[in-house]
Amino acid sequence: MNRRYLLKAFAASAPLLASTSLVAAPKPNWHALAQDVRAQMAWAWRNYVERCFGQDQIKPVSGGAEPFFFPGGPPLGLSIVEALDTLYVMGLDAEAEEGIRWIADHLNFDIDGELQVFETGIRIVGGLLSGWHGTKEKKLLALAKDMADRLSPAFTKSPTGMPYRFVNLRTGAVRDPVSFPAEIGTYIAEWGTLSKATGDKRYYDMAKRATQALFERRSKIDLVADTINIETGAWGSRRASIGPPSDSYFEYLWDGWQLFGDADFKRMYDVHTAAIVKYQAQEMNGDLWFPQVDFETGQIQDHHQSELAAFYAGLLAQGGDMARSKAYLASWAKVQAKFGVLPEGYDYARAVAERVTNELRPEFVDSCLNLFLLEPDDRYRELARLHYEMMKTSSRAAYGFTIVDDISTTPMKQGDLCPGYWWSEQMKYYWLLFSDTDRFDYKTNYLSTEGNVFVGLK
Ligand code: IFL
């Protein structure tokens, strides 16, 4: 894609972003909107406390609970851990205190059961670390370290350094060598922060080695496929994607550089990004998309775009490519305008929703926030405001906010689950976008792939 295309793409996207400001409408009162976000968070938290405090996830329609980690086993209070720094940054201090008390009294990782290393790392280790960053509560750091130690055999028992997918928390037994880029390369933020906090460099080295082992196996055109055997290093697919199950691998390459100034991460980010832009960026009908391609030839495989890939607009901006970032955000903004709520999967060549669910996803607002942090412009707030208002319309239920099972029906058909990340991600993103809170440093900060703040809470 050449420079002329980029200018054209952005020129095409600019009116779209501008039009979302609804010229005739009065300028929103951002601070009042922020207070509304905070009130919704407090309301949802109260429901969670009253209905299923300590369970992993609330079912906001029925008021029941759903496990995330161990079906039928002990819950890990996932929603509490995810919510901690959001409660803190919103100044919901009594609620944060309530959460910390539950954690201190109940959270114990000495369990004879296996956990998925990636999800546990970004959610539990990350949630505890950001809670500790906000509240300075030492118990949270101790638990984060305990969990990371229990997950470590997944890395240390691997012949390549790329982690096994599952590990037993008590015995350290590992399982499942067939893994994916996101599950191999999304550790440096949490593990590196832990190294900094404890003075023990092993965590940082473990995460970096896993990332490098994957990077070194990239194809001659600098792409990675989305499945690999971590014992043999053999690729299990030919599909290169910026979406799942690769997405946050790319994010953490940038983050390793941003958080720790490690130039090896910057180089890996640059190499992959150049290849992604060369082989995957595709203009269609004035929009910018990133199709799946063959990782060795660059040939396009399909035009599916997962909603989760919307994070990439923010990542491109962080990496300095503002034109592509804005063009990609604008492409997603059009889909948001078309459906109201973003579908899980969109085929941009046919302009149809391929998956009509919405798992209460945060990626679009994540990108709005990342762009806003670099360039405080009300257009990003406006896109997030539309996302927020629509979430209230389509996802608000009796006891909180829920996933949507079908966005194509009127009214949209609700499911019955509030995923843990809702507490850590979009509510925090909306709040940070609208509030100008003095509990957050808008200049120097870091948010993980799960929205956990490791730098910038005041
Ligand atoms: O766990 C969340 C996180 O943002 C991630 N992947 C998907 C989830 C939210 O959609 O890295």
User: Band of the pLDDT at 4, cuts 50, 70, 90?
Assistant: very low
Ramachandran region, residue 112 (left: φ > 0; alpha: ψ -120 to 50; beta: rest): beta
pLDDT of the residue at 131: 98
**Using a 6 Å cutoff on CB, does residue 13 contact ligand 1?**
no
What is the percentage of the chain residues whose pLDDT exceeds 90?
Answer: 93
pLDDT in tens, 64-109: 999 999 988 899 999 999 999 999 999 999 999 999 999 999 999 9
User: Band of the pLDDT at 208, cuts 50, 70, 90?
Assistant: very high
> Which is higher by pLDDT, 13 or 375?
375
User: Band of the pLDDT at 25, cuts 50, 70, 90?
Assistant: low
Please give the radius of gyration of the chain, using alpha carbons only, rounded to the nearest integer. Answer: 21
Among 57, 82, 119, 122, the mutation site with the greatest number of ligand 1 atoms within 8 A of its Cβ is 122
Q: Which residues pair with 302 in a beta bridge?
A: 292
Q: Cα of 311 to ligand 1 centre, how many Å?
A: 9
Mean pLDDT of 261-270: 98
Question: Which residues, including other chains, have CB under 8 Å from residue 94's CB and lie 6 or more apart?
Answer: none
**Distance between CA 229 and CA 422 in Å, rounded?**
31
Question: What is the value of pTM for the model shown?
Answer: 0.95
pLDDT in tens, 383-415: 999 999 999 999 999 999 999 999 999 999 999
Mean pLDDT of 6-22: 44
What is the percentage of the chain residues whose pLDDT exceeds 70?
Answer: 94
Among 449, 452, 453, the mutation site with the greatest number of ligand 1 atoms within 8 A of its Cβ is 449
**Distance between CA 170 and CA 67 in Å, rounded?**
20
Ramachandran region, residue 136 (left: φ > 0; alpha: ψ -120 to 50; beta: rest): left
Which has the minimum average pLDDT: 23-37, 179-193, 325-339, 407-421?
23-37
- Which class for 27: exposed (0-12), middle (13-18), buried (19 or more C-beta within 10 A)? exposed
Mean pLDDT of 281-300: 98
Q: Which residues pair with 292 in a beta bridge?
A: 302
Sign of the Cα pseudo-torsion (364, 366, 369, 371, in order): negative
pLDDT of the residue at 27: 85
**Using a 6 Å cutoff on CB, does residue 434 contact ligand 1?**
no
**In 308-330, which positions are buried (b, 16+ CB within 10 angstroms) versus exposed (e)?**
bbbbbbbbbbbbebebbbbbbbb
User: Band of the pLDDT at 188, cuts 50, 70, 90?
Assistant: very high
